[in-house]
């Protein structure tokens, strides 16, 4: 079984391999964030069970209509202004939503770039019959998302505040319900669901890569054993 990892290019191949692993992980993260962003039913479930629409004196469907307007503004570059008919938006809140819009675009850009790098890395690994090498690194990461989810559940408020302080350079994310009642329906429980959703999807992605790497690793090992046995029998026949 021929592999491409020769002594002369071993360092270069190792660097490319770990760049590929990093690209796969970045893609899993950004892809998971993207799926969570566009998962409108996630907000519907949160809103329905929390009954948060009652806090703002609106119906469930009215809040959903305004949420879809908000998501259209955050996701589509041709929607340049945020105008929710049933929720006033302060200047600070408008600035914050603009910053979130930019972060969404950054996420989408990172997802596309990392997908291209990851695809190239997988192509190289497949061409050199080294896809089996994915098994070990993803085995080490296999349960990390689940551990993070447990930590999130028990420390979400601290993590949520820390996340905003790290990502945003101002305190505009601290909404006043009197001027920005949208915060009453975009409550902490919804954002917890969003964070959990992201890491559940990452968990599934890591598990998929791990299982593929494991299966290929077993096949490679079987092929090596078979080849060694054939060589041994060939040598025995010579005698």
Span 3-25, pLDDT tens digits: 444 444 677 778 888 999 999 99
Q: pLDDT of 176-204, one tens digit each?
A: 999 999 999 999 999 999 999 999 999 99
Whether 103 contacts 111, CB under 8 Å: no
HSE-up (13 A, CA, CB side) for residue 133: 19
pLDDT at 220: 56
pLDDT of amino acid 100: 97
Q: Which residue has the higher pLDDT, 37 or 3?
A: 37
**215 pLDDT above the threshold of 50:** yes
Give the mean model confidence (pLDDT) for residues 29-42.
Answer: 97
Sign of CA dihedral 172, 173, 177, 180: positive
Question: Which pLDDT score, from 0 to 100, does residue 9 have?
Answer: 67
The three-state secondary structure class of 56 is helix
Summarize the confidence of residues 36-60 as an average pLDDT.
96
Instruction: Please give the share of the chain, as a percent, with pLDDT higher than 90.
Output: 72
pLDDT > 50? residue 230: no
Distance CA 153, CA 150 (A): 5
Give mean pLDDT, residues 41-66: 96
Rounded mean pLDDT of 146-158? 94
Average pLDDT over residues 115-120: 95
35, 90, 124, 177, 214 from 182: Cα distances, Å: 22, 11, 48, 7, 47
Least confident stretch, 12-16, 35-39, 61-65, 74-78: 12-16
Asked whether the predicted pLDDT for residue 97 surpasses 60, the reply is yes
133/160: higher pLDDT: 160
Pairwise CA distance, residues 22 & 148, whole Å: 19
């Amino acid at each position: 079984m021929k592999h491409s990892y020769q002594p002369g290019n071993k360092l270069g191949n190792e660097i490319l391999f770990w760049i590929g692993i990093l690209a796969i992980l970045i893609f899993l993260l950004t892809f998971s964030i993207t799926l969570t962003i566009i998962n409108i039913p996630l907000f519907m479930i949160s809103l329905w069970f929390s009954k948060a629409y009652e806090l703002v004196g609106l119906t469930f469907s009215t809040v959903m209509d305004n949420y879809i307007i908000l998501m259209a503004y955050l996701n589509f570059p041709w929607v340049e202004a945020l105008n929710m008919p049933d929720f006033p938006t302060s200047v600070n809140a408008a600035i914050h939503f603009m910053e979130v819009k930019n972060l969404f675009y950054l996420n989408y850009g990172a997802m596309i770039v990392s997908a291209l790098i990851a695809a190239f890395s997988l192509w190289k690994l497949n061409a050199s019959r080294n896809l089996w090498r994915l098994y070990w690194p993803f085995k080490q990461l296999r349960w990390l998302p689940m551990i993070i989810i447990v930590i999130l559940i028990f420390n979400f408020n601290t993590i949520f505040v820390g996340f905003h302080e790290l990502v945003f350079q101002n305190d505009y994310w601290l909404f006043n319900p009197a001027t920005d009642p949208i915060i009453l329906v975009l409550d902490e429980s919804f954002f917890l669901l969003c964070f959990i959703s992201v890491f559940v999807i990452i968990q599934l992605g890591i598990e998929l890569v791990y299982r593929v790497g494991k299966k290929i690793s077993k096949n490679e090992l079987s092929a090596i054993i078979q080849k060694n046995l054939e060589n041994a029998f060939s040598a025995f026949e010579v005698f």
